[in-house]
Amino acid sequence: MADKKRRPAVLCSSCRQLVNAEARKCPHCGAAMPGLFGFAPGLQRLFRDQLDLSQIIVGICILTYGASLVVDPGCVNRGIHLDFGAPSSEALYVMGMTGGTAWRLQHYWTLLSAIFLHGSLIHIAFNMMWTRSLAPRVIELYGPGRFFLMFVAAGVGGFVLSNLWSGAPTIGASGAIFGLMGVLIAYGKKRGGTFGEAIKSDMLMWAGLLFFMGFAMSGVNNAGHLGGLATGLVLGWVVPYKDRKPESRIAQLGALVVLLAVIASFAASILTMRPLVELGNCAF
């Protein structure tokens, strides 16, 4: 008699006991889909061995920044100042800028795409520097799936407040970055002790400094920063960190779904805004 094919065992996303990857219900705690219908082992390997979501964020931002320059190359700002390498507003609308016309047209998916768009070389360099600095800390404390979901949620929260506050066209990952600071502030408060207090104090100092810089400079979306920070504070307080509850496969699957939604948001903007926008109308 032929041996039956060996079915992989995985850790239940709720109680962390070994279960059959294809089980519909955990025999230990009763949780539904403990092995995500057999996809959990592959998902686990993907996050453990291949998928670096912080690198993916940086990669998407670089690709979309380059694409926004290519969409309307004649209108790229080449002056030697803070706006060096700035894409045109028309190109940014095509790529997925939120607020302004996009918000009036009810293109709500731009809440996702705008997180990964940037308005100049300095803008993207500054935001990617902060992303690379903060992302590893949040990933270590919460897990990669939770990190990505909180990053995107904070970016969306920042843009929602910005669009309700002024409705001005806006882009950038800074709301999401303030969200990561908020997550770490909340973590430090919950964790307590010398370690937690050090994280909280460090993030409060940097958030305060960046807020001051934002109010001292023109063209900075302070409402987006505030919305992102507030969203991060809430998420950091309610989402359990890994020491208390290891990251579940459901959170990782959710991160992949949101990543696909981000990619789809760019496609939706290009398809809907390109026929409406006249490129080549340079402001200089």
The model's pLDDT over 186-218, given as tens digits with 9 standing for 90+, comes to 999 999 899 999 999 999 999 999 999 888 888
Residue 219: per-residue pLDDT: 82
Reported confidence tier of residue 226, pLDDT bands at 50, 70, 90: very high
Reported confidence tier of residue 277, pLDDT bands at 50, 70, 90: confident
The identity of residue 34, as a single letter, is P
Q: Indicate if the pLDDT at residue 23 is higher than 90.
A: no
User: Whose CA is closest to 9, among 1, 28, 51?
Assistant: 28
Residue 1: per-residue pLDDT: 42
CB 182 within 8 A of CB 142: no
Residue 20: per-residue pLDDT: 63
Structure-block tokens of residue 82? 């803070």
Residue 21: per-residue pLDDT: 57
Arithmetic mean of pLDDT, 64-74: 94
What burial letters (b/e) apply to 63-102, b meaning 16+ CB within 10 Å? Answer: ebbebbbebbeebbbeeeeeeebbbbbbbbbbbbbbbbeb
User: Whose CA is closest to 120, among 168, 79, 166?
Assistant: 79
What CATH number does domain 52-273 carry, 1.20.1540.10, 3.90.170.10, 3.30.830.10, 2.102.10.10?
A: 1.20.1540.10
What are the Cα distances from residue 228, in Å, to 100, 136, 140, 187, 232?
A: 19, 19, 21, 16, 6
Q: Indicate if the pLDDT at residue 139 is higher than 50.
A: yes
The model's pLDDT over 142-175, given as tens digits with 9 standing for 90+, comes to 998 999 999 999 999 999 999 999 999 999 999 9
The top-scoring range by mean pLDDT among 50-54, 85-89, 223-227 is 223-227
Average pLDDT value for the chain: 86
Domain chopping of the chain, boundaries? 9-43, 52-273
